[in-house]
Amino acid sequence: MSIKYRYYKNKNVKSTGYNKYYVKRTAGKVYTEKDLAVRLAARSSSFSRGEMLGIILDLGRLIQELCIEGNSCKISDLGIFSVGIISKGVANAADFNASTDIIPKWRLRATGETQKKFLGITRTTAGAGGVQLTFEEDDNYESPRRAAQDGD
C-alpha cells in the first residue's frame, strides 16, 4: 500500500513558493470505531465485537474529557493525545482576547514502537526496524503533471 498525493499550485503571491507546485496527501479510508471493534475482536480476542465497541467508545470519551481538562493521555506504541493551541498574533498584548484569539487543536505525538517505525521510514524497502512506505500520485483527479506530459 502507498500514500497517495495530489499536486496543487501555490497561488499566494506573498509566498516565496508562489506559482510552484507542491503535493498534499489524499485522505484514505476513515475507519470508524465500529470498524476497529470488528477488527480487534477478530484478532482472537475474548471480547465480542459489541464489548470491543463499548471499550473503544468509552476510551475515546475518556481521552477527550481528560485532554479538555488540560491533561495528556498516552497510549503505548501509539501516541500521546493532547489539546494544543494556535493563537492569532496581536500587536499589543493588552489587545489579546483568549476567547477569540486562541484556536484549539487536537494533537497526537507518536511514541514507542510507532515513533521508532516512523523515524525509520524508508521510501522503498524496510530496513533497520523501519517500515516500507511508498508514495504514488492519486489517479482520481486532473493532474497538472499528467496534463503537462500529455501536452509534450
pLDDT mean across residues, the chain: 81
What gap in Å lies between CA 83 and CA 38, rounded to an integer? 29
DSSP string, 15-37: STTTT-EEEEEPP-PPPPHHHHH
Q: Please give the share of the chain, as a percent, with pLDDT higher than 70.
A: 84
Pick 9 or 150 by higher pLDDT: 9
DSSP letter at 13? T
Strands 73-75 and 21-25: unpaired
- Residue 131, pLDDT score: 56
DSSP letter at 95? G
Alpha carbon 52 to its chain's center: 24
Cell of 135: 508514495
What gap in Å lies between CA 114 and CA 77, rounded to an integer? 5
Cell of 67: 485532554
Give the pLDDT confidence of 85-138 residue by residue, as tens digits: 888 888 888 888 888 888 889 999 887 766 666 555 554 544 445 556 677 888
> How confident is residue 61, by pLDDT bands cut at 50, 70 and 90?
very high
- For residue 27, pLDDT beyond 60: yes
